[in-house]
A and B are shown apart, each in its own frame.
Chain A
Amino acid sequence: MKSDRELINSEGRRLDGRSPHDLRKIKIEAGVLHRADGSCSLEWGGNKVLVAVYGPREAVPRHVQNPLKAIVQARYNMAAFSVEDRKRPGPDRRSVEISKVISEALEKVVLIEQFPRASIDVNIEVLDAEAGTRCAGLTAAGVALVDAGIPLRDIPVACAAGKIGGRVVLDLGKEEDNYGDADLPIAISPRTGEVLLLQMDGHLTIDEFNEAFDLAMKGCYEVSEIQKKAILQKYQSAAAEVQE
């Protein structure tokens, strides 16, 4: 399907005024929920995502336990009112798949060998959706895991690149996702550059893929800085409260 509007003009301006290498606006806050062991609220363009981490706690039912290490159970859930046409509440095939790839990505960075038979539950609620919710969810999950004090090798971070109107661009917006040529969300461990999640749909040449991949990596590093600031911010305000 083609958009009736030009997604990117000859000067390289996109519909929302961004240049090809610009991210949408990102706002992250850690420790926003009272009951959760760790939590994070994240706004990424028009996306609003809330993540709560519980655990490590005993994995139930018993048969899912691993006697040698913990399991990470991410659950990606979209609110009924987060999309244009109301979504029926509850899991569908799409959210089950996203939950699985996010769980696997997180399992790589959590020191799961420290908590045999335990589960680390990561609940991702998408409250407002506008393209790129899995990246937003995984990025918020990284911050929430830190906030919960779960031992990690690194803070995982995600970002997407894609192709619109024949050009490779960073962080697709809604129209760009719907009518663009390709979408490549990745998640990395920024300290080592290891890729934790990678999905691609659409059509890219080898050269375009390499360009998009490098661009998405660059995006991840930018988002990673915002994550670290949010975590620091939480501890600084906590320290200020103690001093009072």
Chain B
Amino acid sequence: MTIVPAIKRDYITKLAEQGKRIDGRGFDQYRPIEIETKVVNKAEGSARVKIGNTQVLCGIKMDIGEPFPDTPTTGVMSTAAEFVPLASPDFESGPPREDAIELARVVDRGVRESQVIQLEKLCITPGEKVWLVFIDIHILDYDGNLFDAASLAALAALLTTKVPISRFIKNLDEKDRASWQQQLLDIYTIPGIDEAPFGSDDTNNTQVTINDFPLPMIEPPISCTAVKINDFVLFDSCFDEEIIADARLTVATDHKGDIRAMQKGLSGSFSREEIQKVIKGALDNGQEIRKILNQSIGK
């Protein structure tokens, strides 16, 4: 550790002993959160999330490709994070390093394991053609707590994604189209997706125009992250707190108040009580963040 973080560590722990944080927040309190959706025209869905000074942009692109052999009827999702050198003097260009890979994998798990995207509804022709969903996360400004910002950006972007069927329909042959129309009937039984699956039917019935439709999703869990510095547990760490943190814990909770994912990071440890404390804080903050997320997508 260099000299500056060592001095800051002193300062941050002294403040914490008096129950304070460097930016005047409470231990459980998040910085202001802003979510802006549909910020990239070329993307199928996008969102820019600000948590305090941290800024993350997520864009969703979709394509048609082959399914994995072991899951012939489910769509494929993949997540990548870029720590572009724009965001911090310490980020370098080049292939993603381990912190970028960890971030992408944590976001990926949050989406994949709780089945937020209904991938089984993204099959076109079993074993041959399925939808591919690419989640690309760009860190724009790094002031701590990338896990929460990146997960939130991914969710907001996915929730505003439109499947670009109108652009791809010309790539599908007769068999694919017939198979896909079967799938569509199924998709439109999902509550919340009520737009007409088909546009105006052509009279000779060979050219059916199809509208882009929202990605089939379920209510997502929300991730909240806390760090531990000495014996203090602080939510939504800013950069100065994060670089001196001993341990980090991310907890994702769903709308029913159940836990859907957890990830501990860094070399420090948590006691049972501290974990309880983080879960409680994640539930409370998760409720608030869910409201902000729903507002941003117009729900």
Contacts and interface: CB of A to CB of B under 8 A. Distances in A.
Interface string B211-251: 00000000000000000000000000001000000000000
B82 A85 contact: no
Nearest to B61: A86
Nearest to B52: A34
B262 interface: no
Contacts of A54: 85, 89
A83 interface: yes
Contacts of B61: 80-81, 85-86
Contacts of A51: 86
B272 to A, nearest CB: 36
B86 A127 contact: no
A189 interface: no
A200 interface: no
A8 interface: no
Contacts of A80: 59, 61, 80, 134, 136
Contacts of A77: 84, 93
Give the interface size class of chain A: 20 to 34
Given A35-B89, A77-B93, A86-B61, A123 B84 contact: yes
A123 B41 contact: no
B138 to A, nearest CB: 6
Interface in B20-61: 39-44, 46, 53, 55, 57, 59-61
Considering the complex of A and B, which 8 residue pairs feature the smallest CB-CB distances, nearest first? Answer: A81-B59, A34-B53, A86-B61, A81-B43, A80-B136, A52-B86, A123-B86, A33-B141
28 contacts: A33-B87, A35-B239, A46-B42, A48-B39, A48-B40, A50-B86, A50-B140, A52-B86, A52-B87, A54-B85, A75-B85, A77-B84, A79-B57, A79-B82, A81-B40, A81-B42, A81-B44, A81-B136, A83-B42, A84-B42, A91-B93, A123-B86, A127-B39, A127-B59, A127-B138, A128-B39, A128-B41, A130-B42
Interface of B: 39-44, 46, 53, 55, 57, 59-61, 63, 80, 82, 84-89, 93, 95, 134, 136, 138, 140-143, 239
Given A57-B89, A80-B59, A81-B40, 19 more contacts: A33-B141, A35-B88, A35-B142, A51-B86, A52-B85, A52-B86, A77-B84, A79-B40, A79-B59, A79-B82, A79-B136, A81-B43, A82-B42, A82-B59, A86-B134, A89-B136, A91-B93, A123-B84, A127-B40
